[in-house]
Structure 1
Amino acid sequence: MPRTTLLGLSLLGACALPCAHAQSYSPDQFLLGDWSGERTRLHEQGVDFQFTYVNELAYNTQGGDSHKGTYSDQLMADARFDLQRLFGWQGAAFRITFSNRNGQSLTQEANTGTLLAAQEIYGYGSVTRLVQLYYQQALLDERLLLKVGRLPMSGEVFPFSCTFQNLTFCGTVPGYITPNWFTWPVSQWGAALQAQLADDWWLNTAIYQVNPRFTENSQGLNFGSPSGTTGHLAVGELAWKPLLAGLPGSYRVGVWRNTGDFDDIYQDVDGQPIGLTGNAPEHHDQAHGWYAMAQQRVYSAAADPARGLTLFANFIQSDRDVSAIERVWHLGAFISGPFAARPQDEIGVALGRLEVNPRSARRAQQSGTTDQRADVEYPLEVYYGVRLTPALTVRPNVQYTRNPGGFDHDRSVVVWGLKTEVSF
């Protein structure tokens, strides 16, 4: 769909990034400002629009098959309707989101061999998609929050930020290594419930339809549901959000169970190695896994509390019967306001460890795909985020990957990137 058409649709009621919305509204957040006061008037009546454009440049300077650059982008339009302000429906809201993605993947074009992509914004085709279409209801003095409708399998659980450009360190990472877990911008029917158990404890649960056909470009603007549903994905997450020494933190543990259709990564229907027999794989009707997340502010400047240091660490364990990547580890830091003269800038540093499933590695050797056994890949990214205005941020970054694909004899990959985010 042409972008002019997409923008026209979004003016009638569309969407954006799942971040800056009505909680901290200011017309300064948008490049186009207050629309001569119309945006603020709509906000006060309960209607918020946001249009967001993200692009990611990436250039491979070492490793892979070639040194080249690629460009990928995403245009999003978002609308949120506060039904309490509009119609007096206590605690109710409605949201609709569309996205349009285009461009190329450096990981594919330069054949870098890394396990995950150098541009997180690339994926699921160059197409316009319905990303969100849900009704939200707050209950019990807002201690319960229910969402029902079309949802991506992300956002409600494993809520890691997407400021990094490498896919390893962005968004709902369990979905990148688990079959039949379809993340943003693909959506399917589902429901999510957030329950506040105590002042600093939450229980988050979600259940999603599993239908691989939603990933097809032809289904991008299907408001219904095509045939092909194979099961459901259920996720449960316990979250603790304390103040430690007066500084905020977030600690989460989650488990999931997916009842979609899965092929065994190693065994055939007779229990023998697929790499040797070439027979059809053994079938599984479920897969499961778990994750843990920790993020803690450890320092805030006395003169400006917005400046400080936040540390994070994440762990993901996938189902070794069906996943080529068995475990993922992250650790890193966000430095907010690294310089007094640049209090809105940010530095991000992340180091990862991606462990290839030994069963998958053995299959590749047995089938003759490679004479090496894949083991562990170590990606690293460092970015400097320059907030030029409240509506415009650029993040030059460098990505270094040791043992791309888990092969310790392959040359390390070095990618230079630039991520730009604009909110209109």
Structure 2
Amino acid sequence: MAMAAAVCAVLAGTGEARGSACLDEVTASPYAPRLQEWRTAWAERGIAVSASYAGEVFANLAGGLEEAVTYDGLLDLAVDADLERLAGWKGLCFHANAFQIHGQSITAEGTGGLAAASSIEADPATRLSEIWLEQSLFSGRASVRFGQLAADTEFMTTSASDYLLNATWGWPTITAFDTPEGGPAYPMAAPGVRLAVRPSEHFDFKIAAFNGRVAEDCIGQDPQLCNLHGVEFPLGDPPLVMGEMTMRYELGDGLPGAFKLGSWHHSGDVSDVRFDAGGNLITITGRSGAPLDGDYGLYALLQQTVWKPKGAEGDQGITLFSRVMGAPEDHNFIDFYGEAGVIFAGLIPARPDDAVAFGFEYTEISERAVASEVVSGAEAGRSYESLAELTYTLSLRDAWTLQTSLQYLWRPRGGYTYSHPRNPQRLEDSLVIGTRSVWSF
């Protein structure tokens, strides 16, 4: 996931550099000094083993489906290897990671929203996530990665997912609902290949092709249950292709910014959300929607640091972020998504690793989908869902952070949940509070 990256990104650690293009810095573990010595010794040989655990408690205080309190947790284990050190193959890297997911979903039991209140909630399972090889080319200016890949580790990312807990800041609701089976994003991954090219420090381009489905023979079912342990490796489905261009720059006195443009395209058939093949309303005939050729989405991202304190390190300062995304309304349940927010990182001299973040997002349900629900007999159709989140990230030790989140969800699931199209349940605005503790080992 993306999730592994998002959880680990908020951790500040110090340690001995591994001196390898494949391996990151060894993060010191205050909990197990002997383990740290063992990890450093293996890193010198070209193998890095890491782990993190995130545990969280969420409470839906009002609105949504019902008041609820839940606990969920994620253990993320990863191994990376420098195959040049191990086997003499220059520029070849290996990565694999696995999740142990447990607990309850505050979204399923409390809010009922389109956007999952927690970015680590998922069906309980022990599952393989990514496993891939990456070959560096042209002195590091390009690389090819192939294996089982998660798109949300590299595409449409901003720093918001490092500081805000709702899942939409990582893999947004529009791609979670519009791509087949939710797409290759936490907790799922799919076989694929990715090419990245970075001709200069200010510009890069990535393109990837994934198998179009993350589970086999799973039409109309939960793909997480169909591929419970992540070891099916489905192949042969129409591909999901993603491409992204990034331009990096600086404003004024060293204020970094990045602008991204991207798109995704699925070449398989999709169904019209309102009309069947005969042009009749699917809510009246009960037939499948008319087949449509392929599907696609477009997006743009902007992240800009607008102020840094004197002597700032890393992400310290005030950073603005925004994303907008769109998809055809006749093909998709969601046709527009927008978000914006601000991150205040390291602004308290005595707490240089703490951060406050605020984000607001808007998810629009396509008018064609809404019109179908109104005609089906509901007195009012769904329209949009919107979310505001405020978080404080407290860095307690080098490998321990505590994040507290307050979320307010307007019109969960568009205002209604349709357990039966002629008996919609009205959902009131939801108020959620949660705390996540993350340990890195």
- Any residues of structure 2 matched to 1:81-92 within 5 Å, and which? 81-92=81-92
Aligned counterpart in structure 1 of residue 192 of structure 2, from 184, 190, 193: 190
1:26 deviates by 3.8
- Any residues of structure 2 matched to 1:60-75 within 5 Å, and which? 60-75=60-75
- Any residues of structure 2 matched to 1:287-302 within 5 Å, and which? 287-302=295-310
Asked if the contact 1:296–1:310 (Cα under 8 Å) also holds between the matched residues in 2, the reply is: yes
Alignment pair present for 1:417 and 2:416: no
Name the counterpart of 2:14: none
Bigger RCO of structures 1 and 2 (CA < 8 A, at least 6 apart): 2
- Any residues of structure 2 matched to 1:161-310 within 5 Å, and which? 161=159, 162-163=161-162, 164-171=164-171, 174-180=174-180, 181-213=183-215, 215-217=223-225, 219-221=227-229, 223=231, 225-226=233-234, 229-245=236-252, 246-306=254-314, 307-310=316-319
CA separation in 1, counterparts of 2:177 and 2:234? 25
CA 1:263–1:71 in 2, change beyond 3 Å: closer, same or farther? farther
After superposition, the C-alpha distances for 1:363-397 in whole angstroms (9 at most, x for unaligned) are 111112x3113222220000000111121111011
CA 1:46–1:90 in 2, change beyond 3 Å: closer, same or farther? same
Name the counterpart of 1:76: 76
CA 1:280–1:393 in 2, change beyond 3 Å: closer, same or farther? same
1:160 deviates by 3.1
Structure 2: 5+ residue stretches without partners: 10-16, 217-222, 417-425
- Any residues of structure 2 matched to 1:14-413 within 5 Å, and which? 17-18=4-5, 25-28=25-28, 31-33=31-33, 35=35, 37-110=37-110, 112-123=111-122, 125-161=123-159, 162-163=161-162, 164-171=164-171, 174-180=174-180, 181-213=183-215, 215-217=223-225, 219-221=227-229, 223=231, 225-226=233-234, 229-245=236-252, 246-306=254-314, 307-368=316-377, 370-407=378-415, 411-413=428-430
Q: What secondary structure sits across from 1:396 in the alignment?
A: strand
CA 1:36–1:259 in 2, change beyond 3 Å: closer, same or farther? closer
CA 1:104–1:64 in 2, change beyond 3 Å: closer, same or farther? same
Asked if the contact 1:179–1:322 (Cα under 8 Å) also holds between the matched residues in 2, the reply is: no
After superposition, the C-alpha distances for 1:342-380 in whole angstroms (9 at most, x for unaligned) are 110111110011111111111111112x31132222200
Name the counterpart of 1:7: none
CA 1:94–1:36 in 2, change beyond 3 Å: closer, same or farther? closer
Q: What is the RMSD of the two structures over their aligned residues, measured on CA atoms?
A: 2.4
CA 1:73–1:114 in 2, change beyond 3 Å: closer, same or farther? same
1:412 deviates by 1.9
After superposition, the C-alpha distances for 1:402-424 in whole angstroms (9 at most, x for unaligned) are 23233398532100111222111
CA 1:174–1:78 in 2, change beyond 3 Å: closer, same or farther? farther
1:225 deviates by 3.2
CA separation in 2, counterparts of 1:132 and 1:98? 7
CA separation in 2, counterparts of 1:174 and 1:31? 40
1:325 deviates by 1.6
After superposition, the C-alpha distances for 1:91-125 in whole angstroms (9 at most, x for unaligned) are 11001111121222122212x342211122122x2
CA separation in 2, counterparts of 1:305 and 1:203? 27
CA separation in 2, counterparts of 1:74 and 1:135? 24
1:273 deviates by 1.7
CA 1:62–1:393 in 2, change beyond 3 Å: closer, same or farther? same
Percent sequence identity over aligned pairs: 26
1:62 deviates by 1.4
CA separation in 1, counterparts of 2:343 and 2:105? 26
Asked if the contact 2:263–2:297 (Cα under 8 Å) also holds between the matched residues in 1, the reply is: yes
Name the counterpart of 2:423: none
1:244 deviates by 1.8
Letter in 1 for 2:120: I
Please, which moves more after superposition, 125-134 or 406-415? 406-415
Please, which moves more after superposition, 19-28 or 413-422? 19-28
Asked if the contact 2:174–2:336 (Cα under 8 Å) also holds between the matched residues in 1, the reply is: no
Please, which moves more after superposition, 209-218 or 357-366? 209-218
CA separation in 1, counterparts of 2:196 and 2:304? 21
TM score, norm. by length of structure 1: 0.89
Q: What secondary structure sits across from 1:374 in the alignment?
A: coil
Structure 1: 5+ residue stretches without partners: 1-14
Q: What secondary structure sits across from 1:62 in the alignment?
A: strand
CA separation in 2, counterparts of 1:211 and 1:373? 30
